[in-house]
Amino acid sequence: MKATFKGRYATDKSSASATLAINAGDVKIRASMTDATVVNGPSLNGLALSLEKPGSFIVDYNVPEKDVRFQFMNSIKVMDKPLKLTYIHGRGDNRTILDGSLVFDSANKVSANHVLGSGNCKLKYTYVHGGVRTFEPCYDFAKNSWDFAVSQRVYGDDVLKASYQTSTKVMGLEWYRDSKANGSFKVQKSTVSLWNHS
């Protein structure tokens, strides 16, 4: 059995959070709380519990709202290619999501996301060129529109990403870093395109 503790404090929002995780064999038990749990005396506000078996299932329980969220993951072979499937159901918002991704090779992947009963379905193709540049066209069936994204890895840990949503005509630019040595951060900017598509 192994226990880990992580804490986080943000000065700009005057908030704090902490997570305690215990590895018990194949499963991980996690409890997280915010400053609302302790600031005015012990309470259940901001307290969440989780039970996880990596690659198999996650059960999250929001204690004050008495809300349960289930997530089940599995992987099968389709024509010798891995198909990863995820089923997510949140009792509180009564929403069920199905995710799937089929990996053809290290450079090509097709993924789909569908919210049951909503008509909301997205299909995305991901192509990685040379291991440093990624192209991601995505079709939204509910909006009958395309979204496009291109990202480029620079300086090893940094990634620049440009995106465009045709339905909202919003262009986005992101720069993020995920480095164990230098830390992680993300900077993003979105703007409405002035292009006239009529």
Q: How does residue 36 score in pLDDT terms, banded at 50, 70 and 90?
A: low
Rg (the chain; Cα; Å): 20
32's tokens:
């997280």
Average pLDDT over residues 36-61: 82
Q: Does residue 57 or residue 94 have the better pLDDT?
A: 57
Domain ranges of the chain: 1-64
Determine contact, residues 177/185, Cβ cutoff 8 Å: yes
Average pLDDT over residues 26-34: 86
Average pLDDT over residues 58-73: 92
Instruction: Give per-residue pLDDT as tens, 173-188.
Output: 999 887 777 667 778 7
pLDDT score recorded for residue 198: 45
Instruction: Give per-residue pLDDT as tens, 73-120.
Output: 999 999 899 999 999 999 888 889 999 999 999 999 999 999 998 888
pLDDT score recorded for residue 125: 97
pLDDT score recorded for residue 1: 47
CATH of domain 1-64: 2.20.220
Tell me what the pLDDT averaged over the chain comes to.
85
- Is the pTM above the cut of 0.75? no
pLDDT score recorded for residue 16: 67
Q: Compute the distance between CA of residue 85 and CA of residue 78 in angstroms, rounded to an integer.
A: 12
The DSSP symbol for 42 reads S
Name, in order, each residue with C-beta under 8 angstroms of 90's C-beta and a sequence gap of 6 or more.
67, 68, 69, 70
Q: How does residue 6 score in pLDDT terms, banded at 50, 70 and 90?
A: low
Q: Compute the distance between CA of residue 44 and CA of residue 14 in angstroms, rounded to an integer.
A: 19
Q: Which of 11-15, 29-33, 51-55, 113-117 has the lowest mean pLDDT?
A: 11-15
pLDDT at 27 over 50: yes
Average pLDDT over residues 6-24: 67
pLDDT at 2 over 60: no
* Number of residues that this document lists for the chain: 198
At 189, is the secondary structure helix, strand, or coil? strand
